[in-house]
Amino acid sequence: MRPLVMTILILISVAVFTRTALKRWKLMKAARTPVDRSDHPWRRFRNVLWYGFGQARMFRYKGAGVAHAFIFGGFVVLLLRALILFARGYSSDPGFGFWIFDDGTRLGNAYLFLKEAVVVLVFVGVIYFLRARLLAPPKRIALSAQGIVILCMILGIVLTDVFYDATGHIKKMQDEHQSLVFHAATPVASVLSFVLLPEPGSEEIIAASHEACFWLHAVLILVFLNVLPLGKHFHILTVLPNIYFADARGIGRLRPLDDIEGQLEREETLGVKTAADLSWKDVLDLYTCTECGRCSDHCPATITGKQLSPMQLTIDLRDHLVKNQARILGASESAGAADDATDSAADDELQLVPGTIQPEVLWACTTCGACEQECPVFISFVDKIVDLRRNLVMEQGEFPAQLQNAFRGLETVGNVYSFANEQRADWAEGLDIPLLSDKPDAQILYWVGCAPSFDDRARKIARAMASLLREAGVDFAILGPQEQCTGDPARRAGNEYLYQTLAKSNIETLNGYSVRKIVTTCPHCFNTLANEYPELGGRFEVVHHSVFLAQLVREGKLEPKHRCETTLVYHDACYLGRHNGVYDAPREMLAAIPGLKLVEAAESRDRGMCCGAGGAQMWKEEEPGDGKVNHARANQLLKVLPSGGESRAVSTACPFCMTMLSDGFRDQGHDDVQPLDLAEILWRSVNGPGQEAAAADRASATN
């Protein structure tokens, strides 16, 4: 009877799983937005090894990381054990190559010992997570009954495995009329067999217990398999593909929207309006979310009490997808049919915003990438949020009113400040800086950016940077009035059409001068020029000024010789650090300045908190919450600065961060904290404070 029962169980289980999995597969196929993830296969394979099997990101939370590694390692090792036991459903001494792992063979004893070791580790891991959910649940975790059930099922699987071996030891000794002995290959089961040492004449009870453990173990595995696609534990099956197909370009590189004008003419959906407008990779992301809450734990919007929680956004999208799968699949099958009015009505009923996602959730995002940096399964959040914004902005004309001024300034004069673009080079008066139009053979183009061109505080950064370039003998020029905004604020705000208009105009200008190397002081400009312009035909070598200045100091072209007696904390700009991995160069440059005491906040490098300016937040009012993002970030930095009496400063390498942090310190009564750009600090050390005052006087007199 055993082979028949095993066959029936397997067939039923596989049939149910296949039916559920096919539904999930069809939902992925119904996603309309195409995404190509066939590039960089070896890099993707390495990511699977390092982040999938190696669990690298899991250990960013040490306790949970270790416990999860125990369970994951157990799954890998116990998979073979499951196959062996299912084979025993057909023969007590099955072939299929499994005989080499049976008790008595050298390889079999080694595997049994390894299996028992991981059983203990899995048990420890499960108890850790049960305790974390039942006794002291972290705020970041999404608690659910299903999570507890799954953990109990895993516990049941490993316990039935050990009890199966323990009762097997007893049964074998009884059949051979021998006394129980300790089996070194299965120490846990051996100890348990002594604990369960039966009374004489209990052979039938032991045999029944042994058989019950076998079937209970098999049934638990098959039920577990069918529970996986019904909730967050589907990630057990989808995590490795999701890591492999993650964007190989890294965090925050937005996918382009092609042929916008053509889509407008054809009245096609722009961005994401319904779940069917997602990409297949977006749907795979939703299936893979583990609801661990690490993304929200580091989200500046969540930290300051905004409605946005990246984890909850993902859960809401996934629940909407599964709940409406029949309607979504029906709408997908009818796409392209003659009855466009019916299709449009179906789309309106399935519209994600505001039906499932409130607009306030989307507009709270700073696109800082902290959520994606923390996600251990490589879910993308920024793309989805921006795609939803794109539909609101370009198709529905719905966005925060304050962004209207920014869009108007970008459309009419090429900058968000709405100043005449002819004033772009006014900051350089008295410095004798050439325009590229006058010096087209300059080796370096200094891309100034909007803030250093028009904002009074940021202009000091541009003057310091230009002065350092001249001091180092760098052959450079600026575009002046020919420079426009790179389009980053428009793109992150969802106005892809405006972004592409600005980007194509800038690329035409740069290609016209045959520009190849660009240095910029703004991380947003740097990220856009280096990583997003190539998609539109603009391929240039782009260097951020933090890297360029560190190189000039390293080469001896700039010598920081004047002491700077102050305690300084460095703030990592999101678009320089997380988005582009630049962490060491700024610190290297600061370390070269004599007298400067550099301290690190707990929230630094890839865990540095956003200042609150990114994602077009700089140009709109912050969403309601428990506090402001820049205030929260300023308080984090204050924790490592001296409380009073000493000179203290904060440094960053982004003009937007400079504005936000300056306001954050001032609003909370810390006017004595000096916010300084890297270029300003280095200029002081190279030239001395007296020269700085003289230069300021000359600039004031010139203006």
Question: Above pLDDT 70, what percent of the chain?
Answer: 92
Query: What band does 338 get if pLDDT is binned at 50, 70 and 90?
Result: very low
d(CA 224, CA 135): 25
- Which of 675, 652, 683 lies closest to 467 in space, CA to CA? 683
What per-residue confidence (pLDDT) applies to 699? 46
Average pLDDT (103-113) is 78
Q: What region, left, alpha or beta, does residue 462 occupy, with left being phi > 0 and alpha being psi -120 to 50 degrees?
A: alpha
Question: Distance between CA atoms of 444 and 470, rounded to whole angstroms?
Answer: 12
**pLDDT tens-digit map of 64-76:** 999 999 999 999 9
> What are the structural domains, with CATH classification, of the chain?
2-30+38-237 (1.20.950), 260-395 (1.10.1060), 403-702 (no CATH)
Report, as an integer, the average pLDDT of 147-158.
Answer: 92
**Which has the higher per-residue pLDDT, 179 or 651?**
651
481 burial via Cβ count (<10 Å: 0-12, 13-18, 19+): middle
Instruction: Report the pLDDT averaged over residues 56-84.
Output: 92
Q: Please state, rounded to an integer, the average pLDDT across all residues of the chain.
A: 90
| pLDDT band per the 50, 70, 90 thresholds, residue 693 | very low
Q: Across residues 546-574, what is the average pLDDT?
A: 96
pLDDT: which is higher, 682 or 261:
682
Average pLDDT in the 520-545 region?
A: 96
Which residues are bridge partners to 596 per DSSP?
A: 566
Which residues does 238 contact at the CB level (< 8 Å), separation at least 6? 284, 287, 288
Average pLDDT over residues 181-190: 83
What pTM did the predictor assign? 0.90
Dump pLDDT digits (tens) for 286-324: 999 999 999 999 999 999 999 999 999 999 999 999 999
Reply yes or no on whether the pLDDT at 180 is more than 90: no
How many angstroms separate the CA atoms of 227 and 224, rounded?
A: 5
Residue 260 CA, chain-centre distance (Å), reads: 27
- Higher-scoring residue by pLDDT: 333, 164: 164
- Residue 213 confidence (pLDDT): 93
- Sign of the C-alpha dihedral computed for residues 408, 412, 413 and 414 taken in this order: positive
* Confidence (pLDDT) at 425: 94
Beta-carbon contacts of 421 under 8 Å, excluding residues fewer than 6 positions away, are 413, 414, 415, 481, 483, 484
603: confidence class by pLDDT, cuts 50, 70, 90:
very high
Instruction: State yes or no: pLDDT of 37 exceeds 70.
Output: yes
Question: Is it the case that residue 477 has pLDDT exceeding 70?
Answer: yes
What percent of the chain clears pLDDT 90, i.e. is strictly above it? 72
Residue 72 CB-half CA count within 13 A: 20
Mapped onto helix, strand or coil, the DSSP state of residue 141 is coil
pLDDT 10s digits, 416-445: 999 999 999 999 999 999 999 999 999 999
Mean per-residue pLDDT for 535-545? 95
293 neighbors 142 (Cβ within 8 angstroms): yes
Is pLDDT at 700 greater than 50 in this prediction? Answer: no
